[in-house]
Amino acid sequence: MFMRNRIATLFLLLLALGGAVQAAEPSAQEMRSLDEQVQEIKTDVLAIAAELSALEEQLLFPSNTQVSVFVTLERPDAFRLDAVQLSIDGNLAAHHIYSFKELDALSSGGVQRIFTGNLPGGEHELSVTVLGKLPTGKEYQQTEKFTFEKSIEPRLLGIALAGPSAGRSAIALNDW
Amino acid sequence: MTRLPALQFLLAALLLPQSLLGAAAAPPRDLYFSEAIFWAEQGLYFDALQRLDTEIAQYRGLDEPELDTLYPYVHDAEFFVGDFELSYRMHHRAGRAITAVLEGNVPEPVRNEAAYRLARIHFQKGQLDDALRAIERIDGQVPADIRNDVEYLRANIYLATARPELARPILRRLQGVKELAGFSEYNLAIAELQAERTEQALSQLDKAGSVKAADEPTRAIRDKANLVRGTMLLEAERYEEAKLALDRVRLDGPFSNQALLSAGWADTHGNRYQRAVVPWNILAKRNRTDPAVQEAMLALPYAYGELNVHGRAAVLYNRALESFGAELSRLDASIEAIRDGRFLEALVREEIRKDRDWVIRLRELPDAPETFYLMALMASHDFQTGLSNYLDLEDLRKRLLRWQTSFSAFEDIIARRRDYYDPLLPELDAQFREVDSRRRLRLEQHQILSDRLQGLLVAPRPEFLATTEERTTSLQLDALRAGLDEETDAALIARIERLQGLLTWEVKTNYHDRLTEFYGHLQDSQVAIDELTRQYDAYVRVRQAATHSYVGYNIPIKRMRTRVEAGLTRIDLLMARQGRMLEQVAVRELESRVRRLESYEERARYALADSYDRATAAQAAFDQTPQNDEGAEGE
């Protein structure tokens, strides 16, 4: 009984390996047209997003007060990053707990914008606390303090994390 | 249906995933480019595109782009935009972006890489003629890191356009390339099949099925090669060889169910049913929504029947019937739930989509017939595309809704700023005018003194640097001298002249010291002017910042609000259409499953009855044998 159907089953298998389910196909033309319209609306929404982002930056973070802080992972193998806490002039500015996806993204060379805010011109103090776990399983926590100057230009600061084995450059402040 | 389309289906799944950082040897040291990578690596392509689009647009607007940090990476950035657009299923825009690079004034390696990427886009979209045209534009120097990828894609295009004679030599050259391990061997086998060289294809599949695999994609292609080889050998009735190939497929891989099913059929050759029950027994215990498992649930009792274990066969047919019945009820419930619209509601549940394995979790939800078959439906490319589009639309809808509320917040901020600054600015402007007039006066004075200093340097005039006391004294002496008579007041005149001479001596001998002092005072005046200018500039900036913080936003906000509203209307419409299409695809797929299960159910019923008959006949035959009669009586 089953032997009779076997060859047909095997032939269908060849098709199934390609990942296509032929039976469940509405009009291909309709699907293509819909797909194209979805692509168009994506383009439109991206254009709105670009304009809105420029407006938002102008309105909420004008260049004369804008300060942004970015995080990079210089040596992803040195430790597992769990969280970063930033304080500016003693006030908590950001506290970020990292997801696996975010850690993967940082390990692949991605740079995370952890804070954008407004500060008056002059000298400020940035305190960075890093929490994580060492390859040995030991908890790791380190705090470093830096001073920086805010002028009328937007200020972009990069925090490079290299882990405790990097000694004094475990937490370094770079000017972007 | 001919063999060729089937081969194309086999081939199309074999494009190697392009690494995100494949084009650049090291992560770029441009902040915003790196930020875009941060988003893209998390699969958040909208945010990545938004960031990188803005960065490239700003770069294009620079007067001196060579001073920008993006300068060394700008071609990579443009390719990345194309990659992000591709990942975000914006093939049209990706194609346009890469075509722009291709037609721009770029170095040869960059142009060739653009042509390769364009060909890849066309190939993925099934536009084979365009893909061929694009890949044939590659000429001259090709970047070393994509050289093999270019050749591999070229071979794939030739295969997809049924030109195995062109694909074979390329694929032969790619044998042994580490990053294509398994894939180049497998595709060469497909090329041999296309060329109707079955033995060479089988031999090549054998090679692909025994590659050393360190990663999951290579392990999967190795399994696939063994499964295809086993299937072909089974069709050719070369059962022993088929069995060997099928046994090489991993038991926990994505092709294991089909391999176990086929391995069972290979074992049945020569009535070796006792061997066939081993893989089918494993398979019959797996997920019962899988068609291979359902077939194994029928094949297993069939094998027991052939082994004359009719009782066991009957029990297993009963079990299959129960399972099919339960599955049919579940399918009915799923179809009903989908028709009620609960399927689409479940797909957009935020809490589920946050999970990395959200599709699997959907299936595991209790009392969720609307999503139970989602995993199976995801096997369909059309369904996957439709679902991705639906989820993207939902994401866009949420973004637009969020932005809509932002506009009110922006307007509130603007109104508060206006209320704060409007009363303050007139008084500030009055103060500014005072500072400005003081500054202008100082500037004028400074200019006069500066001109005088320049004059003194050219033609020294010591009297210009006389003190006020010296000038007064000199004037008094002049007045006294004017009232005296030359003859009668000769002595007085001589005294006055001595005093005048003394004054002249003082003025002339101290001239250089006084000039230096004058220069010093002029410098001090410059410092004061600089301070006034700093105050002036600071005021202008603050004044501008205050104005810019609330003036000129009404029109852009109004325009954007209109665009967002229009976007939302379009998205609602598209979501409704896309959702309906998804429901249709899902219902059709589930209905085809219902039909297949009903057919299996019918066969199982007949087979069950047949098993009972055979079991009864066998029992009767057993009972009628003389020694058994005696034994029975004895018992």
pLDDT exceeds cutoff 80 at A24: no
- DSSP structure class, residue B290: S
pLDDT exceeds cutoff 90 at B9: no
pLDDT exceeds cutoff 70 at B351: no
Query: Measuring CA to CA, how many Å separate A173 from each of A76, A176, B92, B584, B635?
Result: 17, 10, 41, 56, 94
User: Which of B551, B586, B615 is the endpoint of a domain?
Assistant: B551
CA pair distance B167, B7, nearest whole angstrom: 14
* Weakest-pLDDT range from A21-35, B57-71, B133-147, B405-419: A21-35
Residue A160 lies in a domain: yes
Residues A101 and A32 occupy one common structural domain? no
For residues A49-55, average pLDDT? 91
The minimum CA-CA distance between B90 and chain A, rounded to whole Å, is: 5
pLDDT exceeds cutoff 80 at B161: yes
For residues B209-219, average pLDDT? 88
Residue A19 lies in a domain: no
CA pair distance B85, B92, nearest whole angstrom: 9
pLDDT exceeds cutoff 90 at A131: yes
pTM of the model: 0.73
Residues A122 and A156 occupy one common structural domain? yes
- The domain of B424 spans 417-551
**B190 near B232, Cβ under 8 Å?**
no
pLDDT exceeds cutoff 60 at B365: no
**B362 near B352, Cβ under 8 Å?**
yes
Burial class (CB in 10 A: 0-12, 13-18, 19+), B311: middle
**A116 near A96, Cβ under 8 Å?**
no
Split at pLDDT 50, 70, 90, the class of B366 is low
**A120 near B509, Cβ under 8 Å?**
no
For residues B262-274, average pLDDT? 88
Selecting from B12, B34, B396 the residue whose C-beta is nearest the C-beta of A42 gives B396
User: Which of B551, B572, B587 is the endpoint of a domain?
Assistant: B551
Nearest residue of chain A to residue B542 (CA atoms): A64
Residues A99 and A144 occupy one common structural domain? yes
Question: Residue B294: what pLDDT?
Answer: 92
Contact call for A109 and B37, based on CB within 8 A: yes
Burial class (CB in 10 A: 0-12, 13-18, 19+), B16: middle
The full 3-state SS of B313-346, as one line of letters, equals HHHHHHHHHHHHHHHHHHHHHHHHHHHCCHHHHH
Query: Helix B45-60 and helix A28-60: axis angle, to 10°?
Result: 60
pLDDT exceeds cutoff 80 at B527: yes
Residue A108 lies in a domain: yes
pLDDT exceeds cutoff 80 at A81: yes
Question: Residue B509: what pLDDT?
Answer: 92
Domain count, chain A: 2
CA pair distance B545, B127, nearest whole angstrom: 53
Residue A1 lies in a domain: no
A143 touches chain B (CB under 8 A): no
B305-322 pLDDT per residue, tens: 888 888 889 899 999 999
For residues A9-33, average pLDDT? 51
**A173 near A158, Cβ under 8 Å?**
yes
CA pseudo-torsion sign B217, B222, B226, B229: positive
User: Which of B500, B535, B551 is the endpoint of a domain?
Assistant: B551
For residues B379-390, average pLDDT? 80
For residues B402-420, average pLDDT? 93
Contact call for B28 and A109, based on CB within 8 A: yes
Split at pLDDT 50, 70, 90, the class of B570 is very high
Query: Helix B147-160 and helix B3-12: axis angle, to 10°?
Result: 160
Query: Helix B108-124 and helix B147-160: axis angle, to 10°?
Result: 40
CA pair distance B307, B176, nearest whole angstrom: 47
Share of chain B above pLDDT 70, in %: 90
Query: Measuring CA to CA, how many Å separate B219 from each of A110, B207, B226, B254, B472?
Result: 29, 13, 11, 10, 107
The minimum CA-CA distance between A118 and chain B, rounded to whole Å, is: 13
User: Could you give phi then psi for residue A162, rounded to 5 degrees?
Assistant: -125, 0
pLDDT exceeds cutoff 80 at B377: no
Residues 364-403 of chain B with CB under 8 A from chain A are 377, 379-383, 385-386, 389, 392-393, 396, 399-400, 403
- With beta carbons under 8 A apart, name residues in chain B contacting A114: none
Q: Considering only CA atoms, which of B117, B193, B123 is closest in space to residue B161?
A: B123
The minimum CA-CA distance between A29 and chain B, rounded to whole Å, is: 12
For residues B617-631, average pLDDT? 68
CA pair distance B258, B291, nearest whole angstrom: 9
Split at pLDDT 50, 70, 90, the class of A5 is very low
Tokens of B61: 């607007």
The minimum CA-CA distance between B51 and chain A, rounded to whole Å, is: 8
Residue A38 lies in a domain: yes
Question: Residue B547: what pLDDT?
Answer: 85
CATH code, domain with A105: 2.60.40
Question: Residue B309: what pLDDT?
Answer: 87
Question: Residue A132: what pLDDT?
Answer: 93
Question: Residue B107: what pLDDT?
Answer: 87
Question: Residue B357: what pLDDT?
Answer: 56
Residues A140 and A74 occupy one common structural domain? yes
Q: What per-residue string of b and e applies to B145-156 under the rule 16 or more CB within 10 Å gives b?
A: ebebbbbbbbbb
- With beta carbons under 8 A apart, name residues in chain A contacting B265: 3, 6
- Which residues have CB under 8 Å from A35's CB, separation 6+? B89, B385, B389
Question: Residue A26: what pLDDT?
Answer: 57
Residues A47 and A83 occupy one common structural domain? no
**A134 near A46, Cβ under 8 Å?**
no
User: Best interface-test mutation with B: which of A6, A11, A42, A116 has the largest number of B CBs within 10 A?
Assistant: A42
CA pair distance A63, A155, nearest whole angstrom: 8
B114-129 pLDDT per residue, tens: 899 889 888 888 889 9
B604 CB neighbour count, 10 Å cutoff: 26
pLDDT exceeds cutoff 70 at B21: no
Tokens of B283: 């398979």
Residues A41 and A116 occupy one common structural domain? no
Residue B30 lies in a domain: yes
The minimum CA-CA distance between A113 and chain B, rounded to whole Å, is: 7
3-class SS shares of chain A: helix, strand, coil, % to 5: 40, 40, 25
- With beta carbons under 8 A apart, name residues in chain B contacting A4: none
Tokens of B370: 């609307």
Residues A53 and A91 occupy one common structural domain? no
Residues A32 and A91 occupy one common structural domain? no
Tokens of B515: 């000039």
B221-233 pLDDT per residue, tens: 999 999 999 999 9
**B447 near B526, Cβ under 8 Å?**
no
**B249 near B205, Cβ under 8 Å?**
no
Residues A114 and A52 occupy one common structural domain? no
Question: Residue B354: what pLDDT?
Answer: 57
CA pair distance B392, A34, nearest whole angstrom: 13
CATH code, domain with B134: 1.25.40.10
pLDDT exceeds cutoff 80 at B581: yes
What is the CB-side half-sphere exposure of residue B497 using CA atoms within 13 A? 8
Residue B411 lies in a domain: no
For residues B82-88, average pLDDT? 87
Residues A44 and A91 occupy one common structural domain? no
Question: Residue A96: what pLDDT?
Answer: 97
Q: Considering only CA atoms, which of B276, B365, B286, B289 is closest in space to residue B329?
A: B289
Question: Which residues are paired to A84 by β-bridges?
Answer: A96, A130
pLDDT mean across residues, chain B: 85
B227-250 pLDDT per residue, tens: 999 999 999 999 999 999 999 999
Split at pLDDT 50, 70, 90, the class of B329 is very high
Nearest residue of chain B to residue A99 (CA atoms): B42
A119 touches chain B (CB under 8 A): no
CA pair distance B592, B598, nearest whole angstrom: 10
For residues B284-310, average pLDDT? 90
Residue B502 lies in a domain: yes
- The domain of A53 spans 25-60
Selecting from A104, A108, A113 the residue whose C-beta is nearest the C-beta of B35 gives A113
Residue B108 lies in a domain: yes
Residues A106 and A50 occupy one common structural domain? no
Share of chain B above pLDDT 90, in %: 44
Split at pLDDT 50, 70, 90, the class of A41 is very high
pLDDT exceeds cutoff 80 at B380: no
Q: Which helix (H) or strand (E) holds A173?
A: strand A171-175
CA pair distance B586, B580, nearest whole angstrom: 10
Residue B606 lies in a domain: no
A152 CB neighbour count, 10 Å cutoff: 13
User: Could you give phi then psi for residue B7, rounded to 5 degrees?
Assistant: -65, -35
**B132 near B115, Cβ under 8 Å?**
no
CA pair distance B392, B353, nearest whole angstrom: 12
pLDDT exceeds cutoff 70 at B60: yes
Question: Residue B532: what pLDDT?
Answer: 85
Q: What per-residue string of b and e applies to B80-101 under the rule 16 or more CB within 10 Å gives b?
A: bbbbbbbbbbbbbbbbebbbeb
Residues A121 and A164 occupy one common structural domain? yes
A149-171 pLDDT per residue, tens: 998 888 999 999 998 887 778 89
Contact call for A25 and B382, based on CB within 8 A: yes
Contact call for A42 and B42, based on CB within 8 A: no
Diameter of chain B measured on Cα atoms: 187
Question: Residue A15: what pLDDT?
Answer: 38
Domain count, chain B: 2
